[in-house]
């Protein structure tokens, strides 16, 4: 597995928050194939009229809202 080092300038006080969010996103990206397979197994279990894209968008918006609400 490769390693990437990113240097970013963030406002004072947001260093840990930013680091946490980036690590969480990296964890998702590392495990997205496994997550996709699990979601495909669950297809049809959840009764909804929403599409996979719509549900994914809601999940992303929830993460974004949580980030914006954090101090």
Contact 21, 67 (CB under 8 A): yes
pTM: 0.49
Q: What is the pLDDT of residue 9?
A: 92
Per DSSP, 42 falls in state T
The C-alpha atoms of residue 58 and residue 65 are separated, in whole angstroms, by 10
For the stretch 11-44, pLDDT in tens is 999 999 999 998 898 888 888 888 888 878 877 7
Contact 48, 55 (CB under 8 A): yes
Taking the domains of the chain in order of start, what are their residue ranges?
Answer: 15-69
Q: What is the pLDDT of residue 13?
A: 92
């Amino acid at each position: 597995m490769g390693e990437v080092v990113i240097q970013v300038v963030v406002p004072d006080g947001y260093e840990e928050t930013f680091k946490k969010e980036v690590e969480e996103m990296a964890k998702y990206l590392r495990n997205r194939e496994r997550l996709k397979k699990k979601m495909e197994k669950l297809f049809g279990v959840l009764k909804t009229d929403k599409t996979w894209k719509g549900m994914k968008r809601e999940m992303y918006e929830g993460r974004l809202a949580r980030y914006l609400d954090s101090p």
